[in-house]
Amino acid sequence: MKMKHLMIAAVALCAAALTALAADDPGYICTLRVENSTADQSVSKSGGAKKSGGRRTKKTVNTKTTSRSLSWPVTVSIHGKSMPVSGKVKLQCHFIGTTDGRPEFLGEKTIPVELDEKGVFKTEVTSPTEKLVRTKTTTKTRGRRRRGGSVSVKSETSGTRVTGCIIQLMVNGKVEKAFASDSRWTSHAKKHPLPEDEILKGR
């Protein structure tokens, strides 16, 4: 009798486990593929004008401005017996970079996912275009009576640069798949909302 009761209990546990699995099974399988990024950039230069710092001192300032954005080709596929409702699938894209050398989030973009008849969606995720300015100052000082002299060069960089992104495939408000362009962000990429402070600290 005791063995019979144990068997009944085991069957009940198995049934409960199967029920739980069925409840967790959304009825579809998602994949997210993100290819290597490509850069789109333009460069402009200015300067060269000399600024006098005295009769024996002259300064030349040259500025180089780089406007740059990054793009990632993305493919989403969803297959299964019970597909998610149209309008409930989207890509949540977060762009990360540096401003004056400090890491920061540069913005985000939401892209609705519209599957074709094969359950596939292709797009390109493009970051904002940011500007990085490099300034080079050359100072030349003549010695008295044209003897000796010195030259010093000082370089400074300011502005914003895009360094990467996190892309989340959201289905019914849940992160199903995620991509991080930097391996340090991988453990955070499937969290919602995204832990921005931890990502910026490089944890």
Q: DSSP 3-state assignment of 63?
A: strand
pLDDT of 22 > 50? The answer is no
For the chain, the domain total comes to: 1
Residue range 95-103: average pLDDT? 96
Residue for token pair 């050398």: 101
Q: Look up the domain containing 177 and give its range.
A: 2-200
pLDDT of residue 21: 39
149 versus 6: the higher-pLDDT residue is 149
CB 31, CB 177: distance < 8 Å: yes
Tens digits of per-residue pLDDT, 116-132? 999 999 999 999 999 99
Residue 155: which of 174, 177, 178, 132 has the closest Cα? 132
Which amino acid, 34?
Answer: V
Proportion of the chain above pLDDT 90, given as a percent: 71
Window from 25-29, 67-71, 78-82 with minimum mean pLDDT: 25-29
Mean pLDDT of the chain: 87
> Residue 182 corresponds to which tokens in the numbers above?
């930097």
Residue 110: which of 86, 79, 89 has the closest Cα? 89
